[in-house]
Chain A
Amino acid sequence: MKNAVISVHDLVKKFGSFVANDHLSFEVYEGEIFGFLGANGAGKTTALRILSGLSAPTSGKVLVAGFDAARDPEKIKKNIGYMCQKFSLYNDLTVRENIMLYGGIYGMRKALIRERCEELLERLRFMEYGNRLISDLPLGLRQKLAFSVAVLHEPRIVFLDEPTGGVDPITRRQFWEMIYETAARGITIFVTTHYMDEAEYCDRISIMNEGRIVALDTPDGLKNKYRVDSVEEVFVKIVRSGKISV
């Protein structure tokens, strides 16, 4: 039996009369790479904000790393990592300073941060960049570093909000290798993306449309069900045909 690290049951989020999340229910298992797809405005960001403790659900039960998103958002925050589509390190701080800062914010001991920091720089072959400002680094390196910083405190889950936006294909490839390594360490990956080819790398994907989850399965499972060759075609079929039950 797989261990659910995120479990969402009948999640509803309303802004006035607008329903952004309409009775979402799904589970994400420990160590899994979970892809969260959907067109812009489908309600992905809203759901992501609720899962990361930024916003409270209107109704429904949301458990993240064992804590209730409505009652204990602060406890959730301590157990997750987060990297957003916009670039999230400080340009005017050096690589080491950024690492020390985020480690400190997550309450890690100084000695531990230093140790992890050097480990990280070595693993990324970043040694010579340690004392350089982020603004001096190429975008690809920054993105990899931002991801490493997001998992520096070894969270149980890391949320990636369109992490590879604007990155070249080679770096995207390397980035996904890092995601695989991280998942292999037991950290659950929850990733939203626009790139349908990236969706193929996920263990399971869900597709949202107009506030609802309209499909949830492994990439192969979805392809078989819709009798197409790629996730992209699945996506197009679903969104074109409007409402489709799972």
Chain B
Amino acid sequence: MKRFMGFVNKEFLHIFRDFRTLIILFGIPAVQILLFGFVVSTDLKNAQIAVLDLSHDEVTRKLSGKIISSGFFDKAENLLNYDDVDRVLKSKKTKAVVIFEEDFGKRLIHNGKASVSIVSDGSEPNMATMTTNYLTAIISDFNRELSAGSAGSALLVQPEVRMFYNPSLKGQYMFVPGVITLIMILICALMTSITITREKEFGTMEVLLVSPLRPLQIILGKVIPYFILSFVDVILILLLSWLVFGLPVKGSILLLLVESMLYIFMSLSLGVLISTVAKNMQQAIFISLVGMMLPTILLSGFIFPIENMPDIYQWVSAIFPPRYFIVVIKNIMVKGTGFLFVWKETLILLLFTLAFIGFSIRNFKVRLQ
């Protein structure tokens, strides 16, 4: 045991002495969370729009007032004619233009219907979709108020759309679980495979294998520090998302931490497996990055919903474990569900872990023969 502790201690020294390792361990998680949280925010806040009001009546004033006061939009300017529409959109600051047709108010009262056009900048598809959606929502809301106010008109059943679990559609709820999933694969699989292949490359692995340390002790000694530090990372990310973005964990924190431990353990076994296959550090990095990072970003449902993928991609994504952890963590963090709703995914992660350990042991034995 004393032998083993000295060995674990040495691994910590490696980590704390290497600036790059420290950056990957603590810098990247923090930066990613802040980056995804602030920059890649999918919320609309003070987006600039312009208004071309060809009618100038009480109704259009009320509606544009409602749009501006919603907090999602800022009015950049009032336009005078159609030529200006192109000009302001090209200026790039203005995301959309709202156009009220001539005699908007009159038509609405006399014909019961008037039209308003929304022109948005399609060169930024996400932004365009978001602005039009928000604008449409505000306008239909206005519609409802109007019909409720006029006593004569029949009451229409208005569909009320609400986003469950994430009522304000906070983008961070999507990114925090994704970042945790990604970072854990990065740190655990990449870093452990690097640290083990590094010993192979520098010839220190031979010396360790010849020493009285058992192979299992060598692997555990290299993996335990990363297990501890990854776990610290999970807590760090959860704290950051709570303190900076105000996202609490809705479900049981204990369950979340236990599931994270399982996921970390699985990623570590994957890292060990990669190290038994890779001949040197370059290969280990290549396998971890191309084989794990990219699929995690693209196929795990982190950014692109799995349901919208073509069948073949859905099948491919099924063999990448991060996909299951994302489901688990989203359920616990965002929906607040308990173990009953995530036991299947947990079981799959457990099976992956056992498979990785099994293959690692087999490869290791072959190498030693």
The reply to whether A53 and B6 form a contact with Cβ atoms under 8 Å apart is: no
Q: Is B202 an interface residue (CB 8 A)?
A: yes
Contact with B along A64-88 (1 / 0, CB 8 A): 0000000000100110101111111
Contact A104 B3, CB 8 Å, known A82-B206, A86-B203, A87-B202: yes
Contacting pair B3 A52 (CB below 8 A):
no
Of all chain A residues, the one with the shortest Cβ separation from B201 is: A86
Whether a CB of chain A sits under 8 angstroms from the CB of B368 is yes
In the bound assembly, the distance between CA atoms of A2 and B369 in angstroms comes to 33
B13 within 8 A of A: yes
Given contacts A104-B6, A104-B7, A105-B3, contact A86 B13 (CB under 8 A): no
B318 close to chain A: CB less than 8 A: no
B13–A93 CB distance below 8 A = yes
B6 and A77: CB pair below 8 A?
no
Chain B positions 40-98 with a Cβ under 8 Å from a chain A Cβ: none
CB within 8 Å of A: which of B342-357? none
Residues of A within 8 A of B149 (CB): none
Complex contact A54–B209 (CB within 8 A)? yes
Whether B213 sits at the interface, judged by CB under 8 Å, is yes
Q: Give Cα A78–Cα B213 distance, bound, in whole angstroms.
A: 9
Check if A107 sits within 8 Å of B3, measured CB to CB: yes
Interface size class of B (residues with CB under 8 A): 20 to 34
A105→B213 contact, CB < 8 A: yes
Select which of B7, B203, B213, B369 is within 8 A of A85 by beta carbon.
Answer: B203
State which of B6, B203, B368 has its C-beta within 8 Å of the C-beta of A105. B6
| A-chain residues with CB within 8 Å of residue B209 when the two chains form the complex | 54
Q: Are A92 and B18 in contact (CB under 8 A)?
A: yes
Kindly provide the distance from the CB of B208 to the nearest chain A CB, expressed in whole angstroms. 8
- Selected contact of A92 from candidates B7, B14, B203, CB within 8 Å: B14
Which residue on chain A has the smallest CB distance to residue B218? A105
Q: Bound complex: CA of A56 vs CA of B368, how far in Å?
A: 9
A91/B212 in contact, CB under 8 A: no
Residues of A within 8 A of B206 (CB): 82, 84, 86, 88
Q: A84, B207: Cβ atoms under 8 Å?
A: yes
User: Which B-chain residue is minimally distant from A133 (CB atoms)?
Assistant: B17
Contact between B14 and A90, CB atoms less than 8 A apart: yes
Contact with B along A138-164 (1 / 0, CB 8 A): 000000000000000000000100000
CA A93 to CA B211, docked complex, whole Å? 19
- Find chain B residues with CB under 8 A from A92 CB: 13-14, 17-18
| A contact residues vs B (CB 8 Å cutoff) | 15, 52-56, 74, 77-78, 80, 82-93, 97, 100-102, 104-107, 159
Instruction: List the 9 shortest-distance A-B pairs measured between CB atoms, nearest first.
Output: A86-B203, A104-B6, A82-B210, A88-B207, A84-B206, A78-B212, A77-B212, A105-B211, A92-B17
